[in-house]
Amino acid sequence: MILLDALMVLVQLLLGWLLADLLSGVLHWIEDRFGPGREHWPVLGSLIFTPNIVHHADPTDFLKAGFVSRNWTTWAAVTPLTIILLLAFGSQPWIWAAAIGGAMASEIHAWAHRKTLAPDWALRLQAIGLLQSPRHHAVHHVPDHRRHYCIISDWVNPVLDHFEFWHSIELLLPKGWFR
């Protein structure tokens, strides 16, 4: 029974991690596909859309920022989402895995751009794909930047790309959404 319980916790942790990866892809897709042309928007324009456009033009520019300045907008999104999930479902392993993955998303992204920023344990996790590897993330930076939106692991993107997930969503949305 104890083994089974431990296995269930592990499965939950993995699913929470993959959920965070999926959500990172959704937010990144919105930034990439909705942001251009809306950089003048209050708050979102200067904090999210413009830095994202700069990141495509100069992928290592965001590494000049300090740890807090390249992560705080992610934390601002993850914190309320985690509170909502905790209130809705109570304290569950998958929620904590998703919260940690979400909170680390920008830093994992930074490590995928510059290995020297990553601690040794993170390099080992990059090697197995639990953390996104530089080679995997590089696929997103090939124009037209329409693949590999998820930035936490190497495991969700291939599934979404195989089923043309992002393209299918875009077909369902009004054309005026994209500029």
What is the binding site for Zn ion (CB under 5 A)?
A: 32, 145
User: E-assigned strands of the chain?
Assistant: none
Nearest residue to Zn ion on Cβ basis = 32
**Closer to Zn ion by Cβ: residue 123 or 145:** 145
Minimum CB separation of residue 136 from Zn ion in Å reads 11
**Closer to Zn ion by Cβ: residue 17 or 49:** 49
Contact 85, 3 (CB under 8 A): no
**Closer to Zn ion by Cβ: residue 34 or 96:** 34
Minimum CB separation of residue 131 from Zn ion in Å reads 14
Minimum CB separation of residue 53 from Zn ion in Å reads 9
Residue 96 CA neighbour count, 13 Å, CB half? 9
CA distances from 164 to 138, 149, 152 (A): 19, 12, 19
Minimum CB separation of residue 156 from Zn ion in Å reads 15
Where on the phi/psi map is residue 58: left (φ > 0), alpha (ψ -120 to 50), or beta?
A: beta
